């Protein structure tokens, strides 16, 4: 998620029950104790829900006309507890043998030097309070050990299973993007994500560049808090609306500390190994 400021990070805990990244709710510590502490800090700074949303909007969170964005059902908002709460990150369905896997940023679902969040749900195709493709609680979360121990920004990537609904797995219902590794640094990608200040997704298409050997960079205007975990998709088939995920907003600065430039950890051998572990060796 994008970093808005330390006080806003505390505010996110107040409005989203803990989880904050980018000074928004993407990587805030999880659990009732940490959430309560951040909520107290938010209150001390005077950050109400309305004030937080106004701050996000001031950073460009509503510049895109979200309602004009075509809906991509493989992409969804990540909420704390359920869709009645605040959404703070983005995730997308990725092809797996179990047909039950999503990919997002590690800081959205696992606190560095902490533990996996256990109160999150994935809502694909969320728009204006509607949940057209259901609400999918997260199950097992898989991150790299270096993220667990030190928050390694070069592996700010997570895979999570989601629980079956009505006897069907999420990929059976929606389809999935493929995972791409070692894609190179100059790629034309389309990104879809959910700003916390909006109730519909936004999109951007542009050329990626090399931030470093372990980080990709892309320039897209007005990508604010809530967009961490948004998939970077290449080779998009307009008929199936599926493609290859080669990154997610995260990594350097937990995705970027300005609204117009975003980053992703480079998907190399370690991300490939992480995927295999998450998918049971597939």
Tens digit of each residue's pLDDT (9 = 90 or more) over 145-202? 999 999 999 999 999 999 999 999 999 999 999 999 999 999 999 999 999 999 999 9
Q: Which domains does the chain have, with CATH numbers?
A: 6-61 (no CATH), 66-282 (2.40.10.10)
pLDDT of residue 139: 96
Q: Return the higher-pLDDT residue of 181 and 113.
A: 181
**Rounded Cα distance, 265 and 269, in Å:** 12
**Which of residues 249 and 23 earns the better pLDDT score?**
249
Q: Return the percentage of the chain with pLDDT > 90, whole number.
A: 65
Q: How confident is the model at residue 282 (pLDDT cuts 50, 70, 90)?
A: low
At 247 the pLDDT is 98
DSSP annotation of 230 reads -
* Residue 249 pLDDT exceeds 80: yes
Q: Is 214's pLDDT higher than 60?
A: yes
Span 48-58, average pLDDT:
38
Query: 199 near 129, Cβ under 8 Å?
Result: yes
218 phi, psi to nearest 5 deg: -145, 145
């Amino acid at each position: 998620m994008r970093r808005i400021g330390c006080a806003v990070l505390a505010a996110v805990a107040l409005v989203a029950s803990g989880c904050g990244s980018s000074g928004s709710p993407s990587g805030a510590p999880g659990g009732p104790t940490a959430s309560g502490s951040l909520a107290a800090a938010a209150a001390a700074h005077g950050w109400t829900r309305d004030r937080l949303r106004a701050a996000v909007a001031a950073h460009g969170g509503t510049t895109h006309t979200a309602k004009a964005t075509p809906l991509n059902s493989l992409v969804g908002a990540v909420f704390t507890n359920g869709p009645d709460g605040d959404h703070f990150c983005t995730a997308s369905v990725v092809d797996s043998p179990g047909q039950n896997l999503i990919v997002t940023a590690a800081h959205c679902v696992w606190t560095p030097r902490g533990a996996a969040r256990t109160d999150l749900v994935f809502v694909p195709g969320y728009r204006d309070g509607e949940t057209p493709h259901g609400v999918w609680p997260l199950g097992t979360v898989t991150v790299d050990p270096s993220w667990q121990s030190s928050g390694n920004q070069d592996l700010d990537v997570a895979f999570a299973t989601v629980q079956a609904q009505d006897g069907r797995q999420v990929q059976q219902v929606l389809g999935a993007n493929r995972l791409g590794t070692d894609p190179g640094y100059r790629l034309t990608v389309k990104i879809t994500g959910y700003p916390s200040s909006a109730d519909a997704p936004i999109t951007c298409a542009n050329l990626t560049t090399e931030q470093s050997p372990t980080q990709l960079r892309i320039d897209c205007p007005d990508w604010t808090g809530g967009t961490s975990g948004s998939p970077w998709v290449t080779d998009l088939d307009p008929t199936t609306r599926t493609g290859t995920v080669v990154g997610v907003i995260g990594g350097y600065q937990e995705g970027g500390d300005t609204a117009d430039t975003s980053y992703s950890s480079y998907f190399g051998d370690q991300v490939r190994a992480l995927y295999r572990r998450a998918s049971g060796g597939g």
